[in-house]
Structure 1
Amino acid sequence: MLILHKNNNINGLMDADAIIIGAGACGLMCAVQAGYLGKRVILLEKNAKPGAKILISGGGRCNYTNLFATDEQFISGNRHFIKSAFTQWTVEDTISFFETYGINGKEKTLGQLFPESNNAAAIVAVFTALCEDFGQELICDTVVTDIKILEAGFAVNYAKGTKSHVVKAPKLVMATGGLPIPKMGATDFALRFARKQGLKIVETAPALVPLTITGKDEDWYAQLSGNSVYCKVSNERIAFEENILFTHWGLSGPAILQISSYWKRGEVFNIDLLPGQNITALIETERKQNGKALLSSLFNRYYARKFTEAMAKYLPIDKQVASLTKAEMEQIEQTIHWFKVKPAGDKGYDKAEVMRGGIDTDELSSKTLECKKIPGLYFGGECVDVTGWLGGYNFQWAWASGFVIAQQL
């Protein structure tokens, strides 16, 4: 049940203790935590319902945290910036919070925690129920048209339907998210507002996003569409060992999404198609046991037949292992363990999980997330230059930043 605007007269001429713009993960957590502290907030949401990205995350299952989350799994101009928030609100706090309201987690892979019910709607339901219990005003289907900075607070103009409204509060929280998935209402609202106030913005880009392949190799990738291979993907900065997925337009899958956050247009990265193994040693063993065996028969033990057949473009897969030349062995070694990929680009914000870049962390207090230049103004969640890996890390940052800000309202 959504609570309609009541125009409460709190704090004299103020309508609430704080106005929160954005009812995503950060905004919802902030509203609830403020409620625990006896604070009243007005929560403005552009979409018809709160928690839009929560509902679609993890294919509707919501990977709501990661057991191993630390500052090391985040990209930021100042990676240490989130240490204070993660100390104030830990992974254990996230787990305990949801368990209190009947959501028990189950670990899938690499520390990723999902609700046992596999139902993202259950996560959102916890927040909406608590907002109602605390009397927080959750107003959806709104468009913020103007924000004025007052001597002792903020005035936010918003439209709902054909009517315009103004609400005032001494504190303002920007939790509007980032640019990914514009069809779900994502905008650069927080970034535009920050620029207007003269705040620094770290250049933004899609992150955790599939990569596209064009040109002479396009058809080769397309023919493998739907095939998944366990690989180690790396560049000079980082490496990830998970599945990659071939698509008709390029590459996706967990390992590709991870490396995309560390990739820039024009760069090449490497794929080890057989991590933890040595293809040269495997071939030498095969030579001793059955030199007449074809290279393809060896490959078929590790790859789907379709992938083995596709490797004929690069390797002599129909040749007996005993007759492979030194040059061919070197070619096999390089191709299997150092397969080079130079993407043409990425699938953009439509397919990106998160945004890289955002409000420069130098503009904010790491302890409170308050804007240093504008007292009473806070930024949290995805609009800040804090970008986590795939696997629940970004949700942990959203919950933590929402909690931290709530302590200041």
Structure 2
Amino acid sequence: MIDAVIIGGGACGLMCAVQAGFLGKEVLILEKNEKPGAKILISGGGRCNYTNLYSGPQNFISQNEHFSKSAFSQWTVEDTISFFSSYGIEGQEKTLGQLFPVSNKAKDVVEVFTNLCRDLGQEIRCNCDVKSVEKTADGFTVMYEQDGKAKQIKSSKVVIASGGLPVQKMGASDFGLKLAKQFGLRLVETAPALVPLSITGKDAEWFANLAGNSIFCRVSNHRISFEENILFTHWGLSGPAILQISSYWRPGESISIDMLPHQAISDLVERERKQNGTKTLLTVLSSLYTRKFAESLAKYLPVNKNVASLTRQELDTITAFIHDFRLKPAGDKGYERAEVMRGGVATDDLSSKTLEAKKIPGLFFGGECVDVTGWLGGYNFQWAWASGFVIAQHI
């Protein structure tokens, strides 16, 4: 009988095992993949944006916006930075508080945990497919297969850190959700989050022809707005601002794109009219965007007219298009392209202080399978580290 079985050797599970080891507790990680930390290794293009300097409860989506406050007070951004620094990983800020290892190597992050687990005597068993978790009089029995062989282990506590539904080739599954349902916990409807959006219909070809063009924009809906780059693709839109808004977007809704968020296009055109009225609108737009994008606007705007000859109605059309380009995405690109899952185990059924299931003593949920979804830029890692730490204190 060990102190806990941790199902999932990702960010939350690894942090939980290490922190439990610091407290003298013996745990076992059961990992589905050949190696632990699969999603850590591919995050940030293999560079691992392991936290965000500005991370706080306001950067997370949940039906209970206050739920994460306790975990983030127990394990802060400063704790994350100090922890990794202690084991040789210094951070460098890229943009908007995003912190990456100076080495730019995600494997360095994983090695911190695998080395500590080895030193602390915490076992990581890989190629393990957990089949069931059953409650017993003195704890739990976990049934699993390892390399085709059926096995079981008894434990007084079980930690579900099995992640969410993205990305299947990284071992993603709905195991955590099914287990929560098995034990009578409620689920918040799940959906892909931080995911590119697809465009179909009459404008699809226009978007596809612009594939590879990137523009700094403000992307908004009635819930929130983000200022970062958007990226045109063969199937629609991606880039940081689109990934961010996707977590707040629902099918059938429109989004608004301001393609010049810090200047007024009307002021620029008016200035050009006074200085050189013979200049075309295309020339003005080409000073703001790539030539290809400026030329593509001929579909919507009178780009070949001299700015001096633009009518008031045309100026209004230009202003509305540049500052409030509205579109209705056809959908998203699904879990295989999503960074994370939105929704999951309902926070009302978990203790915010311990992350233990209120109905099932000894059963804990952390990381992505819980209804706490962060923004793009290291926020979800901060939640994983924090939830892993909190659980470790109570197993």
Q: TM-score range by the shorter chain?
A: over 0.9
Is 2:272 the counterpart of 1:286? yes
TM-score of the aligned structures, taking structure 1 as reference length: 0.96
CA displacement at 1:197 relative to structure 2: 1.3
The answer to whether residue 259 in structure 2 is matched with residue 273 in structure 1 is: yes
Q: Could you tell me how far apart the structure 1 residues matched to 2:40 and 2:297 are?
A: 40
1:184 to 170, 181, 186: 170
Letter in 2 for 1:258: Q
Q: CA deviation at 1:319?
A: 0.3
Q: Which residue of structure 2 aligns with residue 5 of structure 1?
A: none
Does 2:95 match 1:95? no
Cα distance in 1 for partners of 2:132, 2:208 equals 47
- Distance in 1 between the 2:349 and 2:31 partners? 25
CA displacement, residues 144-202 of structure 1 (integer Å, 9 cap, x when unaligned): 11211011211001111132111111110000000011111100000011111111000
Correspondent of 1:37 among 15, 19, 23: 23
For the pair 1:131 / 2:117, whether they are aligned, the reply is yes
Alignment of 1:124-273 (within 5 A): 124-273=110-259
Equivalent runs, 1:376-387 vs 2, <5 Å: 376-387=362-373
1:279-318 maps to which residues of 2 (within 5 A)? 279-318=265-304
Q: Secondary structure at the match of 1:215?
A: coil
1:140 offset after TM fit, Å?
Answer: 0.3
The range that moved more, 143-152 or 245-254, is 143-152
For residue 303 of structure 2, give the secondary structure of its aligned residue in structure 1.
coil
CA RMSD for the aligned pairs? Answer: 0.5
2:217 aligned counterpart, secondary structure: strand
TM-score by length of 2: 1.00
In structure 2, what is the equivalent of residue 394 of structure 1?
Answer: 380
Whole-Å Cα distance in 1 between the matches of residues 79 and 182 of structure 2? 36
- For residue 353 of structure 1, the aligned residue among 339, 355, 358 is 339
2:44 is matched with which residue? Answer: 58
Q: Which residue of 2 aligns with 1:70?
A: 56
Q: 2:91 maps to which residue?
A: 105
Percent identity over the alignment? 67
DSSP-derived class of the 1:81 partner: coil
- SS at structure 1 position matched to 2:36: coil
Give me the whole-angstrom Cα distance separating, in 2, the residues matched to 1:212 and 1:349: 13
C-alpha separation in 2, matches of 1:392 and 1:127: 18
Partner of 1:115: 101
Distance in 2 of aligned mates of 1:248 and 1:288: 39
Unpaired segments of 5 or more residues in structure 1? 1-13
Letter of the 1:384 counterpart? V
CA deviations on 1:61-109 (whole Å, 9 max, x unpaired) are: 0000000000000000001100000000000000000000000000000
Q: Shift of the alpha carbon at 1:42?
A: 0.7
Q: Which secondary structure state, in structure 2, belongs to the residue aligned with residue 205 of structure 1?
A: strand
Runs of 4+ in 1 over 2 A off after TM superposition: none
2:227 is paired with a residue of what secondary structure? strand
Equivalent position SS for 2:256: strand
Partner of residue 34, structure 2: 48
Tell me the secondary structure at the aligned position of residue 202 of structure 2.
helix
Counterpart of 1:342 in structure 2 is 328
> For 1:167, what is the secondary structure of its paired residue?
strand
Counterpart CA distance in 1 for 2:133 and 2:13 is 17
* Local SS of the residue matching 1:240: strand
Aligned to 1:365: 351
Aligned letter for 1:155?
T
Q: Indicate yes or no: 2:68 matched with 1:79.
A: no
Letter in 1 for 2:211: S
Q: Secondary structure of 2:142's partner?
A: strand
Code of the aligned partner of 1:185: G
| 1:127 counterpart SS class | helix
5+ residue gaps, structure 2, are none
Question: Aligned partners of 1:290, 1:163: CA distance in 2, in Å?
Answer: 79
Paired with 1:342 and 1:269, the residues of 2 have a C-alpha distance of 6
Select 1:326's aligned residue among 312, 325, 333.
312
